[in-house]
Amino acid sequence: MTNLNKLIKGIGVFLLYILVPMLLPSITSNSTNDLLINIGIMFLLLLLFIFIYKDDIIRDIKAFNKHFFKNVGKSLVYSAALIVGLLIVSIILVEVFHVTYNNSSLIDSLLDKNIFLLIIYVFVISLFTEQIVFRKVFKDILQNKYFFIIFSSLVYAFCQIGYNISSTNDLFTLIPFAFAGIILSVSYEKTGNIITPCVVYLFYDLFILLNSI
Amino acid sequence: MKKEFSITLISLLLIVIAGLITHIINTDKEIGINNKKMLSNNTLINISKTISKEEIIYEVVDKSKNLTYSWTFLNNEDFNKSLKDNMEIDLDLRLQLMTDIKDKNIENLVSNNDKLIISFNHHGELPTKAKIKLDVKNKYKNGEKLYLYYYNEELDRIEYIQNDIIVNNGKVEFEITHCSNYLLTASIVQDAVNNPKNINIIIIVMIVVIIVLIGATLFQNKK
């Protein structure tokens, strides 16, 4: 695939990822099932992304399955780094900068409402969509590994909570997300397999879920 | 006789003028009523009511809770009628504000350590829009920008109300139309409904990403 093709695909996927959630409130504002409709639309978006990158994803799944336990083991190491690192970052933010950070609140709130929606949204839609957009798209276009890791992580952090930034104090909350982005991008850069960051994040989400129950 | 009559007439005229002046002054000047009340839970609070042409203000000092706040209602017909009918607020402080409550549901939904939960003994619609001025100097610094959220009990969710509440002289001011559980925080509640969306940041990020990706592709192609 030429660089131009990758660029056009990547920008298209990135724009859809940003613009669709922006338009969702106007679509679902009068609906009583807004949560269900939101999740349904995001699921369709994920299917579209998978379709766009289907060849690469199938290749990566096969490669991951070939050395399944070894790859799961590697993913566990990255997950541990993510969990421990985020814990340290959170402690520093709370104790030193007095900034509250909680990445499990979405799980907590969904856990109260609908366990099925929680599984679909957190463990399928959000997990795969984010890895395709912030890892696959950026890695395909950016050849310099350091630039890819730093830039994709910063964009990931901004896209996670950029909507909510309204003061300089809120900028501190970018740090945990940027850190998570770095670990996930490094795991993809090192293994060259998009399934690895997905599994890393899956372990992290499981850890948060078990903590929440 | 004529002289005495003239003096009496002038005196009466002066009284009328004085009455008129007093009436004019009283309509423009605020009327203050101070009242100390012992609440049912044996806490002594000081309530002062100030009436001006535009507003009716109830200032409350509850020393036992280190709590100072005021209610300001527009002094209009709607309020007075409703006040008469419902007695939603009066010097018995039936409309009492509390900040020392522990609400488990809110605690579960909001992890922000800096939150200040504001609750009222009355729940429901107010007769008219009310401005609350609350002393928060023990919790927040001057100049700090706070967010106001409302806890929707029916849907068990936190709803965003306002984000431009600045702490001024240790006090904050905000308006409400109904009494329920509210909370103030210095940071955004991530999972609240209707949070202010900073679309500008996302648009800037989007443009930067597109420019960087195009630039990187052109640079890599040149190499």
| In the predicted structure, residue A108 carries a pLDDT above the cut 80 | no
Residue B143: exposure state from Cβ atoms within 10 A (0-12, 13-18, ≥19): exposed
For B181, the token pair is: 């559980």
B217 within a domain of the structure (yes/no): no
Q: How many CB atoms lie within 10 A of CB B222?
A: 6
| In the predicted structure, residue B9 carries a pLDDT above the cut 80 | no
Residue of chain B with shortest Cα separation from A102:
B111
> Which of 18-77 (A) contact B at CB < 8 A?
18, 22
Domain that holds residue B168: 33-200
**d(Cα B178, Cα B180) in Å, to the nearest integer?**
6
Residue spans of the domains in chain A: they are 3-212
Beta bridge mates, B10: none
For B94, the token pair is: 């039936």
**d(Cα A130, Cα A210) in Å, to the nearest integer?**
22
Winning range, highest mean pLDDT, from B18-27, B61-70, B85-94, B191-200: B61-70
**Is the ipTM here above 0.90?**
no
**d(Cα B174, Cα B62) in Å, to the nearest integer?**
20
**C-beta of residue A89 within 8 angstroms of C-beta of residue A177:** no
**C-beta of residue A152 within 8 angstroms of C-beta of residue A139:** yes
Beta bridge mates, A89: none
Residue A207, pLDDT score? 86
Using pLDDT thresholds of 50, 70 and 90, give the confidence band for residue A91: confident
Among A25, A30, A2, CA closest to A141: A2
| In the predicted structure, residue A1 carries a pLDDT above the cut 60 | no
Q: Which residues of A touch B186 (CB under 8 A)?
A: 169
Residue B4, pLDDT score? 66
Q: What is the pLDDT of residues A132-164, one digit of tens each?
A: 999 999 999 998 999 999 999 999 998 887 766
| Span B193-197, average pLDDT | 69
| In the predicted structure, residue A29 carries a pLDDT above the cut 80 | no
The share of chain B scoring above pLDDT 90, in percent, equals 3
Residue B129, pLDDT score? 79
**d(Cα A39, Cα B186) in Å, to the nearest integer?**
30
Residue A106, pLDDT score? 52
* Residues sharing a CB contact under 8 Å with residue A59, sequence separation 6 or more, in sequence order: none
Q: CB contacts < 8 Å between A and B, how many? A: 95
**C-beta of residue B173 within 8 angstroms of C-beta of residue B131:** yes
B96 within a domain of the structure (yes/no): yes
The share of chain A scoring above pLDDT 70, in percent, equals 82
**d(Cα A130, Cα B218) in Å, to the nearest integer?**
25
- Write out the H or E segment, with its range, that includes residue A30: none
- Reduce the DSSP state of residue A169 to 3 states and report it: helix
Residue A62, pLDDT score? 94
Pick the more confident residue, B27 or B77.
B77
Cα torsion A119, A121, A127, A129: sign: positive
Domain of B46, CATH number, reads 2.60.220
Token pair 């104090």: residue: A169
Beta bridge mates, B133: B70, B173
Among B212, B163, B149, CA closest to A165: B163
Phi, psi of B171, rounded to the nearest 5 degrees: -125, 150
For A126, the token pair is: 């959000």
Token pair 């399955």: residue: A65
**d(Cα A51, Cα A43) in Å, to the nearest integer?**
12
B17 within a domain of the structure (yes/no): no
Biggest CA–CA distance in chain A, Å, is 49
Interface probe, candidates B107, B201, B220, B223, chain A, greatest A C-beta count within 10 A: B201
**C-beta of residue A103 within 8 angstroms of C-beta of residue A176:** yes
Q: Strand B31-38 relative to strand B44-51: parallel, antiparallel, unpaired?
A: antiparallel
Residue A151, pLDDT score? 94
Q: Which residues of A touch B201 (CB under 8 A)?
A: 158, 162-163, 165
Of residues B187, B188, B191, nearest to A109 (C-beta):
B191
**d(Cα A50, Cα A132) in Å, to the nearest integer?**
8
Window from A11-15, B122-126, B174-178 with minimum mean pLDDT = B122-126
* Residues sharing a CB contact under 8 Å with residue B40, sequence separation 6 or more, in sequence order: none
Window from A19-33, B19-33, B63-77, B138-152 with minimum mean pLDDT = B19-33
Biggest CA–CA distance in chain B, Å, is 119
Residue A206, pLDDT score? 86
Total domains present in chain B: 1
Q: What is the pLDDT of residues B83-124, one digit of tens each?
A: 544 434 554 445 566 666 677 777 777 777 778 888 877 677
Q: Measure A12 CA to nearest chain B CA, in Å.
A: 10
Residue A138, pLDDT score? 94
